[in-house]
Every structure is written in structure tokens, then in C-alpha cells.
Amino acid sequence: MSLREQLTDAQKDAMRAKDKPRLGTLRLALSAIKQVEVDERRELSDDDIIAIITKMIKQRRDSISQYEAAGRQELADAEAGEITVLQDFLPKQLSSDEVAALIDQAISETGANGPADMGKVMGWLKPKLQGRAEMGPISGQVKAKLSA
């Protein structure tokens, strides 16, 4: 079953259960997917959909920090709930050991030997980690390894 079908089925289940917060989040995700399909005039793969969901989660994390800074905890909690719903459709997250092993593999396979080669390493890692780990902290780990 494709990821799009899983999202659609989950939307139907949320409608039946009258779970408005989950339903709203799923509708937003499906709408974002449909918008990209219309803009690019193509059917999206599961990897494309994972990239969209990952972007949505990142946007919500940014919103949470802004809401908390403004003292709007109820809005931050709503965003956190949306993140929880969206994460259900991402692949299993990698452990820190698995990420470290992939970083080492990327450095050896790209022949990187300094901070100037960070782009090569990140380019190698991104498709393998998409939706399975947050890229921000990984970028810091790569930079630390290349600087050492």
C-alpha cells in the first residue's frame, strides 16, 4: 500500500471516529501532496511524500518555538499534536549509532577529508536519511567529524 493510500485510509478512519484534530492534520498533508502534484504535473512517489511530510514537521517545530516564545502554549500544543500525527507516516527513525555509521560510510565513500567536502557528504546522506532522521543535528555531526 502506498503512503498516499495510507494517508487517505487514515483520513477516512479519522472521519468515522470524529477525530477532528487528526482529520485536520491529514487533510493538510493530503492537500500539500495534491498541491505539489498539480504544480509539477506528476504523480508523487513515496519518497516525495516523505519529503513533504518531513517539511511539514519542520515547519511545525519552528512554529512551536515561536508560539512558546510568545506565551501561546495552547497553540504550541496543537502543533505538537500535528507533529505526532504526521510522524505516524514516516519510516522508523534511525538510532544515533546507525546515523553515526552512515556518516562514517558517507565520509569514506565520498573521499571527504575536510570541512570543504561537507556538501558532498550531505548530498550522499540526504537520500538515505530522508524522513528517518532530522538533518539539522546530522549536519553538525558531519561538520564535527570533518573538522577533527
Tell me what pLDDT residue 148 has.
77
- Of 94, 105, 104, residue with least CA distance to 131: 94
* Strand ranges in the chain using DSSP code E only, listed in sequence order: none
What residues does CATH 1.10.1510.10 cover in the chain? Answer: 3-87
CATH superfamily of 3-87: Uncharacterised protein YqeY/AIM41, N-terminal domain (1.10.1510.10)
Other Cβ atoms closer than 10 A to 109: 11
Residue 117 DSSP class:
G
Across 64-68, 81-85, 131-135, least confident range: 131-135
Band (pLDDT 50/70/90 cuts) for residue 42 is very high
Taking the CA atoms of 59, 85, 137 and 101 in sequence, report the sign of the dihedral they define: negative
Model confidence at 48: pLDDT above 90: yes
Q: Span 96-147: which CATH code?
A: 1.10.10.410
Residues of the chain with CATH 1.10.10.410: 96-147
